[in-house]
Chains A and B, each alone.
Chain A
Amino acid sequence: MRSLRTEELILNMGPQHPSTHGVLRLLVTLDGENIVEVQPDIGYLHSSVEKMMEHRNYTQNIALADRGMDYLAALVNEMAILRAAETLADVPVPERARYIRTIFMELQRLASHLLWLGTYGIDLGAFTAFLWCMRERELIMDLFEATTGGRLHHVYFRLGGVNEDLPPGWTDRCREFCHYFLNRLDEYHRLLTGNPIWQARTQGVGVLTREQAIAFGACGPVARASGLQWDVRKSHPYEGYDRVDFRIPVYTEGDCYARYLVRMDEMRESTRIILQCLDQMPDGEVRAPRVPLNLKVPPGEVYTRVESPRGDLGVHLVSTGGETPWRVKIRAPSFVNLHALTEMMKGWKVADIIAILGSIDIVLADVDR
Chain B
Amino acid sequence: MTPSRNPAGGFFPPELAARLRERFPQVRDAAEAAREALEAFEREQEERQRRYQEEVERAKAEGKPAPRPPRKEEPAVPRYRTPTFEVPREVFREVMEFLRDDPAFRMDYLSFVSAIDWKDRMECTYHLWSTVHNHELLVKVPVDRDNPRIPTVSDLWRTAEWHERETYDLFGVVYEGHPDLRRILLTEDWKGHPLRKDYVYEDPDWLVELARVRQSEISGVQPPLGERG
Mark A residues whose CB is within 8 Å of B: 42-43, 46, 48, 50-51, 83, 87-88, 214-217, 228, 230, 235-238, 242, 298-305, 312, 314, 316, 318, 320-321, 326-327, 329, 331, 335-336, 339-340, 343, 368
Contacts and interface: CB of A to CB of B under 8 A. Distances in A.
Contact of B8 (A51, A304, A316, A326): A304
A299 B75 contact: yes
B222 to A, nearest CB: 16
B114 A329 contact: yes
A316 B114 contact: yes
Binding site of A, secondary structure by majority: helix, strand, loop or mixed? mixed
Nearest to A90: B81
Given A217-B157, A303-B82, A327 B117 contact: yes
Binding site of B, secondary structure by majority: helix, strand, loop or mixed? loop
B228 to A, nearest CB: 19
B111 A314 contact: yes
Contacts of B8: 83, 87, 236, 238, 302, 304
B26 interface: no
Contacts of B84: 301
Contacts, number: 114
A339 B161 contact: yes
A358 B170 CA distance: 28
17 contacts: A43-B185, A46-B185, A50-B195, A214-B109, A217-B110, A236-B7, A298-B74, A300-B79, A301-B78, A301-B80, A302-B9, A314-B112, A316-B112, A329-B125, A331-B127, A335-B162, A339-B162
B150 to A, nearest CB: 16
B74 A299 contact: yes
B5 A339 contact: no
A318 to B, nearest CB: 6
Given A321-B74, A327-B117, A301 B5 contact: no
Nearest to A335: B162
A327 B219 CA distance: 40
A207 B171 CA distance: 34
Contacts of A46: 185-186
Contacts of B162: 335-336, 339
B56 to A, nearest CB: 25
Contacts of B136: 303
Given A50-B195, A235-B6, A301-B138, A318 B158 contact: no
Given A83-B8, A217-B110, A336 B82 contact: no
B152 interface: no
Interface string B167-193: 000100000000000001111000000
Contact of B9 (A242, A303, A336): A303
Interface string B110-136: 111010110000000101000100101
CB-based closest 10 A-B pairs: A217-B159, A302-B81, A43-B185, A300-B79, A331-B112, A87-B8, A303-B82, A329-B114, A215-B158, A339-B162
Contacts of B184: 42-43
B142 interface: no
B196 to A, nearest CB: 10
Contacts of A83: 8
Contacts of A335: 162, 166
A111 B120 CA distance: 45
A312 B138 CA distance: 16
